[in-house]
Amino acid sequence: MQYALQRYVQLYFVLDVSRADLLGSVLSGVRAGLNANVLHKPLKVRFFGSGEDGVDHGGVQVELFANVGGKICDPEYGMFTIDSETQRAWFYQGCRDSVDRFQVVGATVGLAVYNGCTVSVSFPKMMYMMLLGETPSRPEDIEDIFPSLAAGLRSVLSDDIEVADLGLTFDYTYATFDGTVTVAMRGNPSPAVTETNKKEYVAEYIEHLSYVTIAPFFDAFKRGWNKLMPDKITKLFTPVELMALTQGQDAPDFDVGQLQRVTRYDDGYSPFHPAIEGFWQIVKSFAPKDRLKLLEFVTACPRVPIVDGISGVTFVIQRNGPDSDRLPTSLTCFGRLLLPEYSSTTKMAHMLRTAIEHSNGFGLV
């Protein structure tokens, strides 16, 4: 038995994950894998703690990365900030965390992509431009994360405004825990922005936002990413393609009919079962945000695969006994919804909405 376990560990990169400390245990495991140079081995995930353990048949990996991405970007950890307008994440310019931690995070994101999983991070397009060696310098490069700023910088470039009236100088200011920091982009005293240098001002401002002020953090992230995703592979993609490969495709209004066509049934349910017909009536009546919540409840991810879209999602509805006051549950590792045969469509709708609104589970149910 001990030999078999040793052989198992030698063949795979085994990532032990604690439900009680999801992000901490993942980063510790990936750091150990980096140090041992074993991240390229086939990945196996083992959950421990809080009762039952997750069994890795591939779906466990999907669930892990679907959950860990949001924690990586959580401002509470101090590594990234979330823009209030777009909910996209960017490096926190005043971060006090060690550069090493960003390398481990980059390796974690790369590990997911290397193993064919998407990560629930919310990075903007400029992250993937920079991973490809491109330098963001235009308002459109930052528009998907900072649309108001992009609009403001466009107005600087516009011929409809006298730039001198704006009173701008070649300064870049950002916030930290200790207050604001102002960087003189061209040295002191900072020259005024004029009609002749306004294009340079916009380009340099965006370069400071996207790289100059966070260079140690991004460089470390990229080093970690490149451990699994070297440049010769990454550069096969455009920024938009690489973003979709990493984060999945947003599907705010996916085709419910297409999901219905690829759904499978188990333990007595079928496409023509009255409970299933009622289920699809309910889902089709959902607002787009509730459909995404259902998708996340069953699969652990609110996004869809880049290649097949919603058709590539594993979605199984299993009968979980007769009418009951129990809420629907899910085996997110297997994309399986455990749905009791409720006595009415009205009751099913209530129970289903309650389940998806209050779900924050992780692992086998």
Return the SS3 of 211: coil
Instruction: Give ∠ CA 264-265-270 in degrees, rounded to 5.
Output: 115
- Cα–Cα distance, 88 to 142 (Å, whole number): 11
Residues 6+ apart with CB under 8 A from 42: 11, 12, 13, 115
Residues 6+ apart with CB under 8 A from 27: 101, 104, 105, 108
Supply the DSSP symbol for 3: H
Q: Catalytic amino acids?
A: 333
- Cα–Cα distance, 260 to 220 (Å, whole number): 43
Burial class (CB in 10 A: 0-12, 13-18, 19+), 86: middle
Supply 312's token pair.
């590539």
